[in-house]
Structure 1
């Protein structure tokens, strides 16, 4: 799945967004990807989202902008979920913002509560250079996410018999307990998309951080050859009942 990388466009750039017809309320989601979109002005994501956002939640499993190489895993909810004061057993680094509520008064709008994978091969060109890998979401009594690079995928995953108890700590761990209700995540559809600019990649702070053109919209419209790497190459997406 890819964006147009040939045309100079009058506005925006033809891109892609696909969603599952089925909605989920739990599951083990195994996403095997060879290549993710990367480059200035890109904002690719693999995520789950419920109807009447943010009432039924959002789980961003694989997401980043521009030339980012570390994956960001984030929850977006209404006021029923926060990670403030919650013990998270994981290898990733928790964001300074702990409230998953998109309207939380003590943090920027729609920030959510995020975790960053410390590995420089978990997103973008870093991931593409190693031939991709597998991202796994386990959603039952908590929300947990693992990432395995291509050369380190457990055999139980490749054999189609995933066994989460054998994988060690996840990159991200969001427990359901008193401060985060499981009811904040309901009837969620799988989404894979590629946005250009937008509320994250289009921010001046984001373009500056990754040394990308300040005028994101103009860059997207007038530089098709900049988007030759703006594509998804996906092996499979398997969903197991839990």
Structure 2
């Protein structure tokens, strides 16, 4: 983005922080990806990369403002007493949580709908269930877990994008009401990482055109960038920065973004992303454990729990996430009066592995790992022209060393996923994507 565009984005974020709504801008017209294309601004997946690139540009300016405003908020030298923080109301609301859904073992993929549409302009081809099995992109391991991985190269017949690699995107067949209280858990042994690789584990509503139903990114990163936890909705909802600082004291955090969760790219509103503990995909892959996201009427908390520290309450399927402050990596407490009760619709679980495209492709030259591949000369970062795009050329190269990297790094290995809900919560409903047979909504 040009220097003028950076200034406009910074000004817009400052207005949001002050509680003002900026006038409609030409921000997307300055983005080659969305120039002149209104549909681009309304499609959820198409903007997953664009919004992260924009947030990264804003982060440095916002961090300086926030640190100057409240020293306690981001103090990293304080020793946290998690019992006291729980009493202060940090993290999850205490509740009697019960197992609502489980996906594991050989029946894992029967709990999901496969989506083949790609809206992120990637070097991947999402396969349906039968093709994914046939090409060995999904399956069960010898120790009882399941895998999802990047597979082989397939010719497309398109001279502008002659090859793509096999991959998958899955959405849960069910969706849950987050305001009733829900806890989503994934126990993993490995996550994909490396140059060109863009994996994600997230929640969304597919009954409405994005962002009307809400989207929450639990784990998402590209190349060697750190994971970013973000929430999107079509309504104003402010996060409480002082409560973030109080509850997350003692943790080394970075990656601050806007504190208003409203998302409207025409108005430079990018959703909310508080300061959080950030790790790269390589770190997660080498430190297996549990990702968990607790969502209730007061806010959202994300936890990462190492394998050797998984608490007994979770092992017994009687979780008490309000006691898990030690492992909190992101906390999104709502400022209650600013957040509508229908902030998000029923949330389905999504997991996918993308290659290049809106985030990993556009950010190729920012990545040290990408530059070491040697695919930085005689090509450029241009996902609109895949045959010239450095990331795409790398990901679809017929090179044994690159194939070896994908085999050894570009896969999920998962023991289980579970959803727990609070006592009295409404029953899960069939997800919109499942009811439509895997067809996403387009704006």
TM over 0.5: same fold? yes
Instruction: Check the 8 A contact 1:73/1:116 in 2, yes or no.
Output: no
Are 1:81 and 2:263 an aligned pair? no
C-alpha deviation, 1:117, in angstroms:
4.5
Residue matched to 1:188: 347
Q: Structure 1 pair 119/78, CA: closer, same or farther in 2 (3 Å)?
A: closer
Residue matched to 2:176: 24
Distance 1:21 1:231 in 2: 22
For normalisation by structure 1, the TM-score amounts to: 0.85
**Deviations 1:162-212, CA, capped at 9 Å, x for gaps:** 1112212632122231233342211221101011112211213x5423341
Residue matched to 1:240: 420
Q: Aligned ranges for residues 95-110 of structure 1 at < 5 Å?
A: 95-103=256-264, 107=268
Partner SS, residue 199 of structure 1: helix
Are 1:3 and 2:150 an aligned pair? yes
Residue matched to 1:60: 217
Distance 1:54 1:23 in 2: 16
Distance 1:38 1:145 in 2: 20
After TM superposition, the runs of 4+ consecutive aligned structure 1 residues lying more than 6 A away are none
Residue matched to 2:358: 199
Distance 2:340 2:217 in 1: 17
Q: How many residues align?
A: 234
Distance 2:395 2:223 in 1: 12
C-alpha deviation, 1:115, in angstroms:
4.3
Are 1:133 and 2:289 an aligned pair? yes
**Deviations 1:37-84, CA, capped at 9 Å, x for gaps:** 11111110100011221001100011111123x432111222323337
Relative contact order, CA 8 A, sep 6+: which one is greater? 1
C-alpha deviation, 1:31, in angstroms:
1.0
Structure whose alpha-carbon radius of gyration is higher: 2
For normalisation by structure 2, the TM-score amounts to: 0.49
Instruction: Check the 8 A contact 1:72/1:116 in 2, yes or no.
Output: no
Which of the numbers 304, 314, 317 marks the counterpart of 1:147? 304
Higher strand share: 1
Which of the numbers 263, 273, 284 marks the counterpart of 1:114? 273
Instruction: Check the 8 A contact 1:81/1:181 in 2, yes or no.
Output: yes
Q: Structure 1 pair 119/76, CA: closer, same or farther in 2 (3 Å)?
A: closer
Higher helix share: 2
Distance 1:87 1:78 in 2: 23
* Higher deviation after alignment, 136-145 or 220-229: 220-229
Distance 2:165 2:306 in 1: 31
Unaligned runs of 5+ in 2: 1-147, 156-161, 376-380, 382-389, 423-443
Residue matched to 1:210: 368
Question: RMSD in angstroms over aligned alpha carbons?
Answer: 2.4
Which of the numbers 213, 230, 233 marks the counterpart of 2:410? 230
Q: Structure 1 pair 175/181, CA: closer, same or farther in 2 (3 Å)?
A: farther
